């Protein structure tokens, strides 16, 4: 039975990189993936008044996985509308609470640092924390205006992401870095630290180190080789993974997997870069992050060998110097090279 994949190319360069990723997926697993393309996007919003149909979540639920390109086109739909209409509700509705983002230098990619070893796996909490959506505004438009955005950390939510990260650390080097800010945020982050200690007791074989988020930002630049698995709250993880993308050569290389570890709803795979309106439609978007995300999807679906074939091909392509510099090689050139290497 082929895996059934819902494909949401979305906006901007999401369309270009998704086309590339699909070609590679079909080549990696001939006849093994059946895709249904959904045109949910800002264009869909302009036509219908919504980013996806009212039964969108129910439609997606029937698939084995979701492949997403990019969401957002701020010139026509404000980001706060588009992202809350498509990307963020999917992460929450399907309890994709673990956002896995690998930051690794591919062969032939120099990156901005004078470091050759970068292989960090960032585990970002993906459903609550600073993204919980709790809050409101009063006295809007007056001098008394107030805006409140409340970060919500639940015991269930924090324990499960930490456990997930400890398991990842156990499967890799046995080292975990837990990102906190308990020197300033004395409620939520002190709680995060306490939960880290609690869960650590279940994993005596994993060595856990705490870093405040500001110190972690510096460490990722100064000593990235000292890091392996990193676990962080939603917003801290969001910020640190753009930094991770930068040190791995740019957003064109940053892949991600929004995982529902319980397997009771589909997981979603997407490159970290956005829709990049500035280069959309020019055919110069780097498809590597989307292709890498596709490999993560195959791995998640139990197709580890096909995923490994994709990653090996990517390494050979960048090793040949193709796709290693932003904007130099056209999307179709990079895609053709990947297909050729497979």
Examine the residue annotation and report whether 211 is marked as an active-site residue of this protein.
no
Examine the residue annotation and report whether 39 is marked as an active-site residue of this protein.
no
What is the contact mask toward Mn ion in residues 232 to 271, using x (rule: CB under 5 A)? Answer: ------x---------------------------------
From the list 181, 211, 299, 329, the catalytic residue is 181
Nearest distance from residue 149's CB to Mn ion, in Å?
17
**Greatest CA separation for the chain:** 62
Examine the residue annotation and report whether 238 is marked as an active-site residue of this protein.
yes
Partner interacting with residue 83 (select from ligand IPM, Mn ion, none; CB below 5-8 Å by kind): ligand IPM
Residues with Cβ within 8 Å of 98's Cβ and at least 6 positions away in sequence, in order, are 123, 124, 125, 126, 161, 164, 165, 258, 259, 261
Question: How many H helices and E strands in the chain?
Answer: 12, 12
Q: Which is nearer to ligand IPM, 28 or 157 (CB)?
A: 157
Q: Which is nearer to Mn ion, 99 or 188 (CB)?
A: 99
Beta bridge partners of 120: 103
Partner interacting with residue 339 (select from Mn ion, ligand IPM, none; CB below 5-8 Å by kind): none
Distance CA 319, CA 39 (A): 35
Q: Which of residues 261-320 bind Mn ion (CB under 5 A)?
A: none
58 burial type by CB count under 10 A (0-12 exposed, 13-18 middle, 19+ buried)? exposed
Examine the residue annotation and report whether 181 is marked as an active-site residue of this protein.
yes
Is residue 6 within 8 A of residue 38, CB to CB? The reply is yes
Examine the residue annotation and report whether 64 is marked as an active-site residue of this protein.
no
Given the rule CB under 6 A, which residues bind ligand IPM?
83, 87, 238, 272, 274
Residue 191: closest CA among 128, 252, 244: 128
Q: Which is nearer to Mn ion, 238 or 270 (CB)?
A: 238
Q: Which residues are catalytic?
A: 131, 181, 214, 238, 242
Sites of contact with Mn ion (CB under 5 A):
238
């Amino acid at each position: 039975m082929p895996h059934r994949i819902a494909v949401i190319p979305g906006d901007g360069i999401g369309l270009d990189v998704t086309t590339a990723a699909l070609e590679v997926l079909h080549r990696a697993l001939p006849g093994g993936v059946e895709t249904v393309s959904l045109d949910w996007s800002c264009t869909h919003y302009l036509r219908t008044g919504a980013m996806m149909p009212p039964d969108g979540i129910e439609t997606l639920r029937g698939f084995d996985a979701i492949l997403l390109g990019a969401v957002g086109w701020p010139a026509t739909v404000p980001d706060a509308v588009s992202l809350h209409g498509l990307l963020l509700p999917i992460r929450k509705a399907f309890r994709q609470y673990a956002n896995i983002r690998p930051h690794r230098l591919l062969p032939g990619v120099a990156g901005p640092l004078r470091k050759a070893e970068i292989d960090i796996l960032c585990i970002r909490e993906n459903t609550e924390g600073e993204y919980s959506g709790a809050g409101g505004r009063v006295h809007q438009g007056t001098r008394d205006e107030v805006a409140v955005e409340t970060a919500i950390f639940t015991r269930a939510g924090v324990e499960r992401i930490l456990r997930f990260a400890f398991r990842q650390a156990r499967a890799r080097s046995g080292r975990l870095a837990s990102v906190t800010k308990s020197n300033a945020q004395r409620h939520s982050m002190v709680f995060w630290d306490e939960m880290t200690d609690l869960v650590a007791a279940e994993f005596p074989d994993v060595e856990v180190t705490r870093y405040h988020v500001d110190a972690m930002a510096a460490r990722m630049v100064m000593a990235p080789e000292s890091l392996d698995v990193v676990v962080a709250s939603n917003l801290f993880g969001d910020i640190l993974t753009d930094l991770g993308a930068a040190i791995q050569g740019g957003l064109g290389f940053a892949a991600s997997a929004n995982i529902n570890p319980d397997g009771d709803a589909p997981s979603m795979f997407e490159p970290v870069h956005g829709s990049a309106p500035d280069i959309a439609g020019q055919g110069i978007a780097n498809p590597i992050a989307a292709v890498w995300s596709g490999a993560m999807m195959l791995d998640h679906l139990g197709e580890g060998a096909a995923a490994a074939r994709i990653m090996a091909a990517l390494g050979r392509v960048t090793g040949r110097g193709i796709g290693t510099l932003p904007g130099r090689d056209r999307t179709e050139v990079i895609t053709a090279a990947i297909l050729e290497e497979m």
